Amino acid sequence: MPFLHEQWLAQSRQLNPRRRYSSQREFEADWVGGLRRRHGLSQEALAMMASVSVTTVQNWENPASRKNIAPHNQDRLRDIDRELWIKSHVTLLEPCPPFIRALHDLLTANRDASAQGLADYLLTTLPPDDVERPRLLHWAGLAHSIADPFSARAREYQNAALKALGNRGSGLSAAIENEILGSQFEDLMRQPEGEDKHQRGWYLMEACQRLYERDQHPAYKWNALEVACRVPLSREIQYGLLQELTEILGGAAVQRRVMCDHAYMAVREAYARPDSAHTVN
> What's this model's pTM, rounded to 2 decimal places?
0.77
| Cβ atoms within 10 Å, residue 121 | 11
Query: Of 192, 180, 188, 267, whose CA–CA distance to 222 is shortest?
Result: 267
Residue 106 within a domain: yes
Quote the CA–CA distance of 206 and 223 in Å, as a whole number: 10
* pLDDT > 80? residue 168: no
Confidence of residue 175 (pLDDT cuts 50, 70, 90): confident
Q: What is the dihedral of CA 70, 71, 77, 79, to 10 degrees?
A: -160
pLDDT at 276 over 80: no
CATH of residue 78's domain is: 1.10.260.40
Q: Is 87's pLDDT higher than 80? A: yes
Residue type, 63: P
Q: How far apart are CA 116 and CA 169, in angstroms?
A: 29
Residue 150 lies in a domain: yes
Q: At 93, is the pLDDT very low, low, confident or very high (cuts 50, 70, 90)? A: confident
**Can you give the residue range of the structural domain that contains 65?**
3-82
Same domain, 35 and 54: yes
- 186 pLDDT more than 80: yes
3-state secondary structure of 155: helix
How many domains in the chain? 2
Indicate the average pLDDT of the chain.
90
Angstrom distances, CA of residue 92 to CA of 10, 205, 279: 33, 25, 44
Q: Domain of 136: which CATH number?
A: 1.25.40.10
**What pLDDT score was predicted for residue 268?**
95
